[in-house]
């Protein structure tokens, strides 16, 4: 009987196995996951779960019975350590091995850590990737304590928002000249800086971290490159992630900003596919890697369908979201090559529209689901509205859509 083994029991791995059964695959499926828990949602780790608003059982993507009912074997707490692509065998850390016909790498990403020389190994220093990280952090999040956030990207800002809401004293340090510098325009950064400042978060931009300071192996604060000293009881480090490609590297798979796959999820080795955060795929003549739940699901499902013979190439429809305080940010499209931003304000719900020339690339919509929906429809249809009309809130959003 054909055996499909998926490494990585996260969003993409779970979506892939479910889709495979939906499409009628009747062979064996094994989902191997390093973490000791069934597949769960990661976004609430820096949102509702960290806030204490979301119980553990709501984190799981499916009830345990789902996998049993579909005859999907879960191997949890099992780390894959090596692949032998010629023998089509996978080695696990416990010394056992698994033979496969098709192997799917869905290993996600690893957070970038501060080097030990800068205090990255100190007690009280956390990254945010796993449930176990969030649980350890929860014990530190007590009102009145001082949290340092290193990195002003979305994960760092979300952690700051939760901690400030829980009554902690929060200081965020960003070494770039402004927060969100890799992912958003200055207009969006300005808007979120003002939001956090209103909630009492102190933000230092253009402030390099020289090192975390310590006493008896536990963080006491930070020293900045300009000589300033900050006190902190604990720290969250959100300075980016890297695709988890270690396993693939040992097998000679082509790596190019993640495991390089074609439009059908196939890697450079026959019988090995890759999906989700860990994979880069063809996109407009180049390669793209996305780190988002919608992509993990769509990529997994498209790759499962391709494996079952559907024959349709994967075409990403990038979108993303972030929750901070009472603000839902929704992002449609990718802004990488923008040269101008139009700001629109619909009754206190702003949206920032990124253009390259007259071509609409993406939109950041703050508490404006309508702006998001209109932008998403335009971008997916490859159409661009008149920038003058975009900037004018007296022109209804719907009127930006082609007639
Ligand atoms: P993952 O969900 O990370 O799953 C990979 C799994 O593989 C992990 O469980 C890992 O333990 C396992 N694994 C790795 N190596 C091995 C091995 N050798 N053996 C066995 N198992 C292994 N996205 C959004 O769209 N919106 C958001 O608001 C958002 N917020 C986020 C907040 C946080 C705190 C984090 C961490 C992520 C957030 N994301 C968000 C990103 C989103 O969660 C990821 O893009 C998505 O989970 C990717 O799915 P994946 O299956 O590729 O990887």
Q: How far apart are CA 120 and CA 117, in angstroms?
A: 7
Same domain, 303 and 367: no
Q: How many domains does the chain have?
A: 3
In a domain, 279, yes or no: yes
In a domain, 27, yes or no: yes
- Give the CA-trace dihedral at 322, 324, 327, 331, to 10 degrees: -20
> How far, in Å, from the CA of 9 to the mean position of ligand 1?
9
6 lines ligand 1 (CB under 6 A): no
> How far, in Å, from the CA of 302 to the mean position of ligand 1?
18
In a domain, 150, yes or no: yes
Same domain, 230 and 144: yes
In a domain, 371, yes or no: yes
Residue at which a domain ends, from 239, 260, 279: 239
Same domain, 122 and 193: yes
Q: How far apart are CA 119 and CA 380, in angstroms?
A: 45
Same domain, 296 and 193: no
In a domain, 95, yes or no: yes
Q: How many residues does the chain have?
A: 403
Same domain, 298 and 277: yes
Nearest C-alpha neighbor of 68 from the set 104, 103, 38: 38
Same domain, 105 and 120: no
> What domain range is 392 assigned to?
326-400
Same domain, 287 and 341: no
In a domain, 154, yes or no: yes
Cβ–Cβ < 8 Å for 152, 174: yes
Which CATH number covers residue 354? 3.30.390.30
Q: Which residues pair with 233 in a beta bridge?
A: none
> How far, in Å, from the CA of 200 to the mean position of ligand 1?
30
b/e burial code for range 139-158 (CB count within 10 A of at least 16 → b): ebbeeebbbbbbbbbbbbbb
β-pairing, 146-150 vs 241-243, is unpaired
Q: How far apart are CA 280 and CA 274, in angstroms?
A: 9
> Which protein residue has the closest C-alpha to ligand 1 atom 12?
8
In a domain, 273, yes or no: yes
Same domain, 272 and 372: no
Helix H, strand E, coil C: the string for 92-128 is ECCCCEEECCEEEECCCEEECCCCHHHCCCCECEECC
Q: How far apart are CA 274 and CA 285, in angstroms?
A: 19
Same domain, 99 and 247: yes
321 lines ligand 1 (CB under 6 A): yes
Same domain, 184 and 216: yes
> How far, in Å, from the CA of 352 to the mean position of ligand 1?
28
Same domain, 288 and 202: no
Assign 174 to helix, strand or coil: strand
Nearest C-alpha neighbor of 172 from the set 188, 154, 185, 186: 154
Encode the chain (403 residues) as per-residue pLDDT tens digits: 899 999 999 999 999 999 999 999 999 999 999 999 999 999 999 999 999 889 999 999 999 899 999 999 999 999 999 999 999 999 999 999 999 999 999 999 999 999 999 999 999 999 999 999 999 999 999 999 999 999 999 999 999 999 999 999 999 999 999 999 999 999 999 999 999 999 999 999 998 899 999 999 999 999 999 999 999 999 999 999 999 999 999 888 999 999 999 999 999 999 999 999 999 999 999 999 999 999 999 999 999 999 999 878 999 999 999 999 999 999 999 998 999 999 999 988 999 999 999 999 999 999 999 999 999 999 999 999 999 999 999 999 999 998 7
In a domain, 312, yes or no: no
Same domain, 253 and 155: no
Which CATH number covers residue 204? 3.50.50.60
């Amino acid at each position: 009987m054909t055996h499909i083994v998926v490494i990585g029991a996260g969003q993409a791995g779970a979506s892939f196995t479910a889709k495979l059964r939906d499409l009628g695959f009747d062979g064996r499926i094994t989902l191997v996951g390093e973490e000791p828990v069934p597949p769960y949602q990661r976004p609430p780790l820096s949102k509702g779960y960290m806030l204490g608003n979301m119980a553990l059982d709501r984190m799981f993507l499916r009830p345990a019975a789902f996998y049993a009912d579909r005859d999907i074997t879960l191997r949890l707490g099992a780390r894959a350590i090596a692949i032998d692509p010629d023998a089509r065998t996978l080695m696990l850390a416990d010394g056992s091995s698994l033979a496969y016909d098709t192997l799917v790498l869905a290993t996600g990403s690893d957070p970038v850590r501060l080097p030990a020389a800068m205090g990255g190994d100190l007690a009280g220093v956390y990254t945010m990737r796993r449930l176990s990280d969030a649980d350890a952090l929860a014990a530190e999040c007590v009102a009145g304590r001082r949290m340092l956030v290193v990195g002003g990207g979305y994960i760092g800002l979300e952690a700051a928002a939760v901690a400030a809401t829980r009554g902690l004293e929060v200081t965020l340090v960003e070494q770039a000249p402004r927060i969100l510098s890799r992912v958003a325009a200055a207009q969006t950064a300005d808007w979120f800086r003002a939001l956090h400042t209103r909630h009492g978060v102190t933000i230092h931009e253009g402030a390099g971290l020289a090192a975390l300071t310590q006493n008896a192996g536990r963080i006491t604060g930070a020293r900045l490159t300009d000589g300033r000293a900050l006190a902190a009881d604990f720290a969250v480090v959100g300075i980016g992630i890297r695709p988890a490609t270690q396993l693939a590297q040992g097998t000679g798979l082509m790596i190019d900003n993640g495991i390089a796959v074609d439009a059908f999820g196939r890697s450079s080795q026959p019988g090995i596919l890759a999906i989700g955060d860990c994979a880069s795929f063809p996109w407009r003549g180049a390669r793209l890697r996305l780190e988002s739940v919608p992509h993990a699901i769509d990529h997994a499902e498209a790759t499962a369908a391709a494996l079952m013979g559907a024959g349709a190439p994967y075409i990403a429809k990038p979108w993303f979201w972030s929750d901070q305080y009472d603000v839902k940010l929704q992002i449609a499209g990718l802004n990488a090559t923008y040269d101008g931003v139009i700001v629109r304000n619909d009754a206190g719900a702003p949206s920032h529209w990124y253009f390259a020339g007259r071509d609409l690339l993406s939109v950041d919509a703050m508490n404006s689901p309508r702006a998001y929906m209109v932008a998403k429809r335009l971008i997916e249809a490859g159409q661009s509205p008149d920038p003058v009309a975009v900037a004018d809130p007296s022109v209804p959003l719907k009127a930006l859509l082609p007639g």
